[in-house]
């Protein structure tokens, strides 16, 4: 479970990791690895005995679906992760795979209001593929980080479903901390 300060630090670090890259393949692979890491951190926080599950051998979507089954994500929340994972799988089977604008638009169109808010408030993005992809992956990662945060103001713990109002409050906290 992350404090507000740790959350802000992680978000800054992830921004650097994702936005410093210009290679689409590298962005996708880094994004996937970072998502896996944050999913495992979230499972470590929520599960009473994570060793019983052996989730290290689970795929990204199995972890996402497990968290959805536990009420941490809604079915709508996981749609964007499914679409991102499909792109990652395309690269796994064809290293020369080329992401299309429609691939990226499909992910963006599946964004819930939470992900839309994160993307609009925390990223600057253009219309070119690299910029769109960076903002998509960063938004997906930030939602995982925020989901593993403790919001002392609302009393929400990581196993609670995070709402748009929670994200707005945490974004404001980050802005205030930068001043």
pLDDT in tens, the chain (179 residues): 677 677 777 777 888 888 888 899 999 999 999 999 999 988 888 888 888 888 878 999 999 999 999 888 888 889 999 999 999 999 999 999 999 999 999 999 999 998 998 888 777 766 688 989 999 999 999 888 888 876 666 665 655 666 777 777 766 666 666 55
- The pLDDT, as a whole number, for residue 136 is 92
For the record, the structure tokens of 4 come out as: 């507000």
Residue with tokens 């903002």: 135
- What is the DSSP-derived secondary structure letter of residue 8? H
Q: Residue 47's pLDDT is what? A: 85
What pLDDT is stored for residue 72 in this prediction? Answer: 87
Helices 129-147, 75-93: inter-axial angle, 10-degree rounding? 130
pLDDT at res. 12: 79
The pLDDT of residue 161 is 65
List, as one string, the DSSP characters of 60-105: HHHHHHHHHHTTSS-HHHHHHHHHHHHHHHHHHH-TT----HHHHH
Separation of alpha carbons 115 and 142, rounded Å = 9
pTM of the full predicted structure?
Answer: 0.85
State how far the Cα of 139 lies from the Cα of 157, in Å rounded to an integer: 20
**How far apart, in whole angstroms, are the C-alpha atoms of residue 118 and residue 136?**
10
């Amino acid at each position: 479970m992350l404090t507000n300060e740790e959350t802000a630090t992680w978000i800054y670090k992830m921004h650097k990791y994702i936005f410093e890259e210009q290679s689409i393949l590298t962005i996708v692979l880094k994004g996937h690895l970072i998502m896996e890491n944050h999913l495992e951190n979230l499972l470590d926080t929520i599960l009473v005995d994570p060793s019983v599950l052996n989730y290290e051998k689970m795929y990204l979507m199995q972890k996402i679906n497990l968290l959805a089954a536990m009420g941490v994500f809604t079915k709508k929340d996981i749609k964007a992760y499914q679409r991102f994972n499909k792109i990652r799988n395309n690269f796994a089977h064809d290293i020369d795979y080329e992401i299309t604008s429609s691939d990226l638009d499909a992910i963006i169109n599946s964004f819930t209001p939470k992900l839309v808010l994160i993307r609009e408030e925390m990223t600057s993005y253009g219309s070119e593929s690299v910029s769109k992809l960076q903002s998509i992956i960063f938004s997906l990662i930030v939602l995982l980080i925020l989901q593993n945060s403790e919001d002392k103001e609302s009393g929400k713990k990581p196993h609670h479903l995070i709402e748009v109002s929670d994200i707005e409050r945490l974004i404001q906290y980050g802005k205030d901390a930068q001043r």
